[in-house]
């Protein structure tokens, strides 16, 4: 039952982000279908169960004819009988499609593949819409949206490859392979190269996936503002609060009145405090103003965007990023201000989000200066080790903005979020490898 599914999620520690990813891989369009709080009525359950059992009885009779599968016979030979049953139980086309899909494994795979191909096509179109030149000034927020769309496309393509693996030499497999190759050759090529699909797919299917199609697909490079707004509104239906909040912000830049209408009429559809805070900010903006709101006017969203775009936190789970953003603080420095000084105890992880900063290294031959740019973290190794800063960091812009996360907050997440701890270890391993490579040439120099 749905309650058991929810209990399993809790026992296994499956987060909302992980649950959302699995639903996308399975091709489930409406996650609410798996919500135990949204139950079908007893009347509907009896009606659907009765229709299914009647079909099962028909299929038992048809199994005596070996030349056709029961599913094919039900679809054509017994059409009148099925139509009569459909009227008797008041079955809608969608309900019938759902019930029949359970009688044929391959038919179910094909149905799922058709849905995923439609989702893939929509995601590709949406990605193009968010790459329009008119939107480039909002690139920091758009990067969050585009990365999420790209990740979804990758999940869909991998799920379609798994469907092809299940279908093997089924007649529907070749058509599906052709459609997939034409829809997303770039992502498909990457997955085929990185993963062992050559051992899992029939040779003729693999060849179809590798060979480019005869006719290139025409891609429209220009989107009207209205078309872009349509794609942004579609993102509001995603289950990811980061995507919803970011989409609302971009819609505001293009059509403030439209956003306020969405905020007033649909705020009850959003459960996340992040989206609710974004809506509150939107509704507080004067419609008569000709000045577009800056990202800084949406404090939590701004912190979230910069965390997402940073090297250190890139592609961490949305729930973790939102929780970090809630507890992070933004500070502003003038040119020449000290951000940290050599000898200070590292009590905060600092992320440069705007402007420039210089890090002053004390070496035997003097002071070496290295410039830091937005997206880089400062002294992260010292923070994780709870040690003292060995360098001095100075603001080098008229307005240098830093996102500060206390070491206590960081430690809390390391203790209670295994995925976060694993990601931090991976990141720090890469940082140490880069550091070792950078000092190797120096150690190799002859005195």
Quick one: 326 and 420 in the same domain? yes
**Any domain includes 215:** no
Of the candidates 353, 304, 348, 349, the one whose C-alpha atom is nearest the C-alpha of residue 326 is 304
Quick one: 136 and 172 in the same domain? yes
Give residue 39's pLDDT: 46
Quick one: 322 and 427 in the same domain? yes
Quick one: 96 and 188 in the same domain? no
**Any domain includes 220:** no
Quick one: 249 and 359 in the same domain? no
Question: How far, in Å, CA of 14 to CA of 147, rounded?
Answer: 22
Give residue 296's pLDDT: 92
**Any domain includes 203:** yes
Quick one: 436 and 343 in the same domain? yes
Quick one: 143 and 57 in the same domain? no
pLDDT means over runs of 10, the chain (447 residues): 58 63 55 47 70 72 54 50 79 74 65 87 94 93 95 92 88 91 90 89 92 56 91 93 97 94 92 95 86 93 94 81 93 93 82 91 82 80 66 90 89 79 76 68 52
Q: Which of 67, 101, 135 is the last residue of a domain?
A: 101
The domain tally of the chain equals 4
Q: Which of 293, 325, 351 is the last residue of a domain?
A: 293
**Any domain includes 317:** yes
Say if residue 260 is exposed, middle or buried (CB neighbours under 10 Å; 0-12, 13-18, 19+). Answer: middle
Give residue 384's pLDDT: 63
Quick one: 162 and 203 in the same domain? yes
Quick one: 165 and 248 in the same domain? no
**Sign of CA pseudo-dihedral 340, 342, 347, 350:** positive
Question: How far, in Å, CA of 107 to CA of 116, rounded?
Answer: 14
Quick one: 267 and 197 in the same domain? no
Give residue 51's pLDDT: 78
Token digits of residue 205: 């299917």
pTM for the structure as a whole: 0.72
Quick one: 344 and 428 in the same domain? yes
CATH number, residue 420: 2.60.120.10
**Any domain includes 217:** no
Give residue 310's pLDDT: 87
Quick one: 190 and 269 in the same domain? no
Token digits of residue 12: 């296994």
Residues of the domain holding 171:
105-210
**Any domain includes 231:** yes
């Amino acid at each position: 039952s749905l309650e058991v599914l929810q209990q399993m999620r809790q026992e296994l520690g499956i987060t909302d982000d992980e649950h959302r990813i699995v639903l996308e891989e399975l091709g489930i369009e409406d996650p609410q279908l798996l919500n135990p709080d949204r139950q079908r009525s007893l009347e509907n359950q009896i009606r659907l169960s009765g229709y299914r059992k009647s079909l099962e009885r028909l299929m038992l009779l048809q199994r005596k004819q070996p030349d056709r599968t029961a599913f094919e016979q039900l679809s054509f030979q017994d059409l009148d009988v099925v139509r009569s049953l459909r009227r008797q139980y008041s079955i809608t086309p969608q309900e019938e499609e759902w019930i029949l899909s359970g009688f044929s494994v391959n038919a179910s795979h094909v149905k799922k593949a058709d849905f995923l191909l439609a989702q893939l096509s929509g995601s590709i179109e949406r990605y193009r819409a968010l790459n329009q030149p008119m939107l480039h000034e909002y690139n920091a927020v758009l990067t969050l949206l585009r990365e999420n769309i790209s990740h979804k496309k990758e999940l869909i393509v991998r799920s379609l490859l798994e469907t092809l693996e299940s279908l093997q030499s089924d007649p529907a497999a070749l058509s599906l392979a052709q459609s997939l190759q034409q829809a997303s050759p770039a992502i498909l090529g990457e997955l085929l190269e990185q993963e062992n699909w050559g051992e899992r797919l029939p040779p003729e299917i693999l060849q179809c996936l590798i060979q480019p199609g005869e006719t290139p697909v025409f891609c429209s490079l220009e989107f009207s503002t209205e078309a872009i707004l349509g794609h942004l509104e579609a993102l509001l239906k995603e289950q990811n609060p980061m995507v919803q909040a970011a989409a609302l912000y971009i819609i505001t830049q293009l059509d403030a009145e439209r956003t306020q209408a969405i905020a007033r009429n649909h705020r009850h559809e959003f459960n996340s405090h992040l989206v609710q805070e974004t809506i509150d900010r939107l509704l507080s903006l004067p419609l008569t103003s000709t000045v577009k709101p800056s990202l800084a006017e949406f404090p939590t969203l701004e912190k979230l965007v910069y965390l997402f775009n940073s090297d250190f936190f890139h592609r961490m789970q949305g729930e973790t990023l939102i929780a970090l953003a809630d507890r992070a603080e933004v500070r502003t420095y003038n040119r020449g201000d000290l951000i940290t000084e050599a000898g200070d105890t590292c009590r905060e992880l600092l992320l440069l989000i705007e402007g420039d900063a210089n890090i002053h290294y004390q070496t035997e031959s003097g002071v070496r200066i290295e410039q830091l740019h937005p997206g880089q973290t400062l002294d992260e190794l010292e923070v994780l080790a709870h040690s003292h800063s060995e360098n001095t960091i100075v603001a080098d812009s008229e307005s240098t903005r830093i996102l500060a996360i206390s070491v206590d907050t960081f430690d809390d997440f390391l203790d209670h979020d295994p995925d976060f701890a694993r990601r931090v270890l991976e990141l720090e391993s890469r940082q140490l490898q880069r550091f070792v490579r950078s000092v190797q040439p120096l150690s190799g120099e002859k005195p």
